[in-house]
Structure 1
């Protein structure tokens, strides 16, 4: 391992007194398709709303957001298909109750390989508190997700599915959950304790236009085991079929899943 720089700030865009080092920060990950960011308006709105709830004083008109994204995509010499936007909590004196000033927004373009194979999920060994407000933010604090993903790997699975203490399914470490049953679409409501994902929002908004019945409803483990199909979704990967949850196998090529996958391809840049 190379020696650490004596001035750690030389390796970071954030000052030493930025509240990002307390875990106070937000991020968005945008998929880039045909050289353009997908759903930039929805990502901007979520970032703006979340910052307001955390009292992070960000002044970022939508036009400036688009300009920053476009500039970010012009910088890399290699092809990219994603952008990460990281917003810090800002500079502040020591202490948990202090409010940051001068928050920093750092955009980074990157390349990733989309996952095209169906996923294997396992139920998490711990439950979440649905009243915990942290789950409603796309926060930089990913320690729980890291621990859960490692647990999944140890159990021979790709991902963990979380449940709350009432036994209701919530989400995976990085994606929202949908269930197909009787050719209808179901997804847990935000009140179960989960993030309002961008693709989740689009499916709820557009399903009716696509001739699909979609509703928010608490989902138990028993209901998931009895489902015709499951899939998860996020902004980078789109929709991903689930082939197995614990010991239950599913149709990873369900016609409704295939329909939604095709519809979302056109919707991303609409």
Structure 2
């Protein structure tokens, strides 16, 4: 626990200190939202975008807007304590509530934690046997109800993979358990649209914006689940992105090695260059 810094209710806490109520609604029923940011040189990358999505997710759950001044104070406190840590997590829950699903009006819980990240490594993926429901009440929201992702990625790790791909109920490629997908196909790089049920990833949005500015053929397009067969056959490339992993090529799908593809390599370089230019794009 030496590499964890915890902030709650306006002050830093001992990482071993119990800080959440046993009846916090985020604990009992997953009634909360969160954001994970990369930390670069002691600062949270793209914090403004992350806080905007935190607010959108809260509204999607029917929660009051989070107190962003409190969140920023927590971010400053934990990174001031340990600017060398690489990951920042912001969690906002409905606060104290009953054991059932109905909420009790009251103050929200605002928790900010900083911690380490593992070193970069090649990303191996598998297809999951479960699907994402694009019509779910929480589709596209970053909520603390993360059990579906935990189960899917746990199954992936059993076979030596780092991430699992999920289809949606329409039989389209949706997303990974903690990442967005990009497929290089016929000289284009495409990512599923938000209507697929995927999360509106911060890194995903930056890739789309920066690629458009640089004239690269990158865009959104609904992709059939079978596009992953094209990837396995070597006729398409595969990459993923997320706040901690950034934008990286995928080197394996279902045990099949994947070759690097030109456009994915170019976008990988572009993202690294543009991200280094601005801490809060």
Deviation at 1:59, TM superposition (A): 4.5
Deviation at 1:49, TM superposition (A): 1.4
Partner of 2:10: none
Partner of 1:105: 110
Partner of 1:84: 89
2:248 aligned residue (231, 240, 255):
240
Partner of 1:189: 193
Seen in structure 2, the aligned counterparts of structure 1 residues 133 and 216 have a Cα distance that, compared at 3 Å, is farther
- Distance in structure 2 (CA, Å) of the matches to 1:114 and 1:171: 23
- Distance in structure 1 (CA, Å) of the matches to 2:70 and 2:162: 38
Partner of 1:168: 172
Equivalent residues of 1:31, 1:236 under 8 A apart: yes
- Distance in structure 2 (CA, Å) of the matches to 1:100 and 1:12: 23
Equivalent residues of 2:252, 2:258 under 8 A apart: yes
- In the superposition, the TM-score normalised over structure 2's length comes to 0.83
Partner of 2:7: none
Deviation at 1:127, TM superposition (A): 2.4
Deviation at 1:12, TM superposition (A): 3.2
- Distance in structure 1 (CA, Å) of the matches to 2:216 and 2:259: 18
- In the superposition, the TM-score normalised over structure 1's length comes to 0.86
Gapped runs of 5+ residues in structure 1? 1-9
Q: CA RMSD in A?
A: 2.2
Seen in structure 2, the aligned counterparts of structure 1 residues 94 and 249 have a Cα distance that, compared at 3 Å, is closer
The size of the alignment, in residue pairs, is 257
Q: After the TM superposition, which segments of 4 or more aligned residues of structure 1 sit over 6 Å from their partners?
A: none
Deviation at 1:144, TM superposition (A): 1.5
Summarize the alignment of residues 144-159 of structure 1 with structure 2, pairs less than 5 Å apart: 144-159=148-163
